[in-house]
Chain A
Amino acid sequence: MSNPNHGPDAYLREEMLPEMPPPPRETGMVKWLHENLFSGPVNAGLTVLGLLIVWFLFDHFYPWFAHSVWNASSLPECRKIIAETWGEGAGGACFAVIRERWNQYIYGFYPPGLYWRPTLVFGLLFVALAPILFSISRNIRRIVLLTAAIVTVLSLVALNTPPIWLGVAVAIFAVALLVAERRQMWLLGFSAFYPLLGVWLIWGGSFWWIIMILAGMGFGSLAFIIAGRLSPLLAGSSAIVVTLLVWVFLSGDAAKDAENLYSLAIARVDSEAIGGFLLAITIGVAGITMSLPLGIVLALARRSDMFLVSSLAVIFIEFIRGVPLITLLFVAQLLLNYFLPPGTSFDIVLRVIIMVTLFAAAYMAEVIRGGLAALPTGQYEAADALGLDYWKAQRLIVLPQALKISIPGIVSTFIGMFKDTTLVAFVGLYEPLKNISDAVRANIEWKGIYWEPFIFVGAIFFIICFSMSRYSMYLERRLQRDNR
């Protein structure tokens, strides 16, 4: 091979080397321990210290959990049982309060005979979400729907649901399960109708209201189609105007007349009666579903070339972000009444939902703007060069990618918003953490109980927030499109 013509360093490979496995090294548990926990004296010391802290915490709290009492009708009774079983002076949790008062933590002061209504709404939430959140995997969709169906129907039976409604629930779940197998997009129709159904079932009243609201939307879309022949801008605005006009001037009277003619009413429940996790989840779900589209619109507006549009978006976002949520809630509670025409009563839960939505939307807009900014300009240029107009480019090219990039931030905002629902305590609503616990403690039997309710409420919040976090990780994995 050492050909003098090629100089002393010339070299020619005559055979390509085959692929070889990496050299065998120590593997398994011992290697992992060595590398991660005991790689040096400092590391080993920290490991021992960490173990000691964990042991200390465990040692401190375990007896409290181990001695917990689930069957008692008051705190003194709990203490008596603990003292009798574990000796005088032993500490122990009194989770009996949860067993006794779980209904208040879940439903607030909702009439106990009607507990089935919010329960049904919660169960149907999964049907409404299935085609949106679990559209990619039929298997997961099936598991979610089946679990929701079984748990909901069993709960409804336990809550003495009227047979007709039990039948309705079973029918909806059965149809949803079937439709989800083949034509899941049809479920989106249910998702669109779900908010109205949920509001009606939780607050009660006449179903004619719901029909009239739908009628208003119907007239609105009619206007959209007719005006759409002239110009797209006119179509959008006339649809909104017509819908509002129908709602304001026609729907109320029409609903009353129809109700007198043929009653479709169920028992009304006041907003003040709604509390506990029913309240937190209602505000949370409504806020989440409305703040995402609003946030998208705000983010697009902020990046708009039109000066007026972008400055309005900037002013709105910066104002809302610059003010504590509590301030907005106080505005909702007190000031809004000054601005509204006298005599209009405007439901406090609705006002709070609007404020929480606006608050979350401002944060959402900034998170999504980050995603939009992360897209290379080439994507916009390619969309332009193919002749896609602004809205099509946003919908088909820009937003799918920007939202995917923003998933962690969006879900963080959702989680933050959901936890912030506890702040409605300050406007006197019975959220689970403070006001429900106060109400429970107001009873002499449970005076002085603090830790157990906090742990219970905290655990439920954790389960919900952690689920959202896991879902976002699942979604990120599923949307992974390159082999990096």
Chain B
Amino acid sequence: MEYIELFFKSIFIDNMVFATFLGMCSFLAVSKKVATAVGLGAAVIFVMLITVPLNWLLDHYLLQPGALVWLGQDYADYDLSFLSFIMFIATIATMVQLVEIVVEKFSPSLYNSLGIFLPLIAVNCAILGGSLFMQSREIPTLGLATVYGVSSGIGWFLAILAIAAIREKIRYSNVPPALRGLGITFIITGLMAIGFMSFGGMLTGGDDAKKETKTVKVEEPANKDKVKKQLANNTEIIK
């Protein structure tokens, strides 16, 4: 249950693009055609599937305060968490390079479709963002970290697919000249983000006792204004 909840939560409510604006650069740059958007989106899912659990392991066995306890009691009070940026980005960059080499060797056809996107991914904020959020939200187990990685990737994939489809259509519309291209894409993304906010109330019905106390609080304000306020609070907390 926990897994399913986290899965849908990270796809819809905490969508990488619409809730936290991560991966916007490649989102805007590679969303002119649906086919390329699908390629990049698939590559993002794939890389997140690998890097988030890997960084979870690094975080838990190397970086957190007291994580080095497996080396012996002397290391119990070491706190290397200030190194996490450099560790995470190094993991991501090397994994991307490694994935590129492995895919090239074993599946040339997949390499041809994904290949050009892989270098782009090393600097995609969604990937590093996934690892950093994994750390700051204190995701407890390796399994959950994996689910979090995959579902955030899927959320990003959905977002870029949707915007690419809209941009292909919008070519035939009469957009004010100065707004064409980047400007209208920004505004559409904003509107889509507002749309995605409506998913905010989706997961308020949990099944365990702890959740239920929370649910009562959330369900009480049934009218829209209060739900919106709740949402605003949520986004504040996320930030």
Tell me, yes or no, whether A binds B.
no
- B-side residues, CB < 8 A to A, are none
Binding site for B on A (CB under 8 A): none
